[in-house]
Amino acid sequence: MLPSTAVAFLERLLDTPGPSGFESAPARAWRDEAARFAAVRGDVHGNSMATVEGGGGPTIMLAGHIDEIGVIVQHVDDDGYVYIAPIGGWDVQVLVGQRIRFLGADGDVFGVVGKKPIHLLRADDREKASKITDLWVDIGSTSAKETSARLSVGDAGVIDSRTMRFPNNRIVSRSIDDRIGAFIVLEALRRYADQPGAARVVATATTQEEIGDRGGGAGVGAAAIGANMAIVVDVSFATDHPGIEKKELGNHPIGSGPVLTRGSIISPVAFRLLRETADALSIPYTLQAAGRDTGTDADAIHIAREGIATALVSVPNRYMHSPNEVVSLDDVDHTATLIAETCRRVTPAVDFTQR
């Protein structure tokens, strides 16, 4: 079970806004926590790294991206209404009627997403999906001058929602994808630091994954760290709610433990270390297949430098890219334990070239 102090830090981390390219606030919170037990540094891309030196063995990179999806101010009209563009992948219907928390230069600015009321929509328009250009944000201003005194084009924002605890040891947040991964790699490092093995382990809170078709911050971080092996932690689609097709996604219910990916870019050596550790410690897990890329930081990390033996571990997540993503803290705890124990099993004798 996660300690109460760890859960309190997780809630603080989840509630700190940090969309892609604007991750500095949650990154600072992550580094402050990491400095309690590890050597901490950052890089020009915004990645944060915490290192625990081992006994002269290989270097392992643990990577979880700390950014979340968000919005960015695109235009302010003459009446002071704000028009926005997406940061990352949105279902625009999710934005309708939400409150937005903008990260203004002089502090947070709050607004509400506006849309023409249903009473004023023509019958044939009521069934149509909203486009982001159909929406605006009202921050209470009466003019462009008033809005521009508080917000600038290029200011970022997130949906203004707060973390909640659910029954059955579950947690709800807008930023679980993938601040939960950034939390897990740090919690795994904390546990590893209590009894280090041979490996040098570097937990990394990476940036810009949600816009990372180019590899985001993960590729930069992987090249700098000089890792021999990497374990990427992200979220995967939970398959225990209505409308899910398990034939397409596999079976990964909340509470079933971490999801271990097997596939084309995954190192069989790194995968085997994780699976054997889970079996030895009776940690529950499910398997996921990835015949091509994974859509995670693993895609950039495994081809960094001369190649890094990369594994992907995911947490089942309901309602991804919404204001209310849901995960099990039991799954979080099991994932942190699995990663810490796997790192202890990595010695200089491990041959990462086996394929």
Contact 181, 235 (CB under 8 A): yes
* pLDDT above 90 coverage of the chain, percent: 88
Give the pLDDT confidence score for residue 249 in this predicted structure: 87
Residue 269 to residue 15: CA distance in whole angstroms = 36
Q: What is the pLDDT of residues 295-327, one digit of tens each?
A: 999 999 999 989 999 999 999 999 999 999 999
* CATH for the 70-159 domain, from 2.40.30.40, 3.40.50.200, 3.40.1170.60, 3.40.640.10: 2.40.30.40
Helix, strand, coil distribution of the chain in percent, nearest 5: 30, 30, 40
Residue 325 bears catalytic tag: no
pLDDT beyond 80 at 120:
no
Q: What is the pLDDT of residues 52-61, one digit of tens each?
A: 999 989 999 9
Q: What is the pLDDT of residues 154-197, one digit of tens each?
A: 999 999 999 999 999 999 999 999 999 999 999 999 999 999 99
Listed in order, strand segments (DSSP E) in 122-169 are: 136-138, 156-159, 164-166
Angle at 307 between CA 302 and CA 309, to 5 degrees: 60
Q: What is the pLDDT of residues 232-259, one digit of tens each?
A: 999 999 999 998 888 888 899 999 999 9
* pLDDT above 70 coverage of the chain, percent: 99
Predicted confidence band of residue 354 (pLDDT cuts 50, 70, 90): confident
Section 114-142 average pLDDT: 86
- Domain at 4-68+174-344, CATH class: alpha beta
The lowest-confidence range among 147-156, 190-199, 203-212 is: 203-212
Angle at 222 between CA 219 and CA 225, to 5 degrees: 150
pLDDT beyond 70 at 355:
no
Section 93-108 average pLDDT: 95
C-alpha to C-alpha distances, 56 to 72, 196, 349, nearest whole angstrom: 45, 11, 12
What are the sequence ranges of the domains in the chain? 4-68+174-344, 70-159
Report the mean per-residue pLDDT for the chain.
Answer: 95
Closest CA to 211 of 151, 297, 132, 133: 297
Q: What is the pLDDT of residues 20-31, one digit of tens each?
A: 999 999 999 999
- What Rg do the C-alpha atoms of the chain give, in angstroms? 21
Catalytic residue among 23, 187, 209, 325: 209
Please give the distance of CA 17 from its chain centroid, rounded to a whole number: 12
Residue 172 to residue 322: CA distance in whole angstroms = 10
282 contacts: CB under 8 Å, gap ≥ 6: none
Give the pLDDT confidence score for residue 28 in this predicted structure: 98
Section 211-222 average pLDDT: 84
Could you check whether the bond before residue 297 is cis, i.e. omega within 30 degrees of 0? no
Residue 186, SS3?
helix
Give the pLDDT confidence score for residue 214 in this predicted structure: 66
Q: What is the pLDDT of residues 333-346, one digit of tens each?
A: 999 999 999 999 99
Angle at 161 between CA 160 and CA 164, to 5 degrees: 165
Beta partners for residue 109, in sequence order: 102
Angle between helix axes 176-194 and 329-344 (nearest 10 degrees) is 40
Q: Which residue has the tokens 């995954």?
A: 266
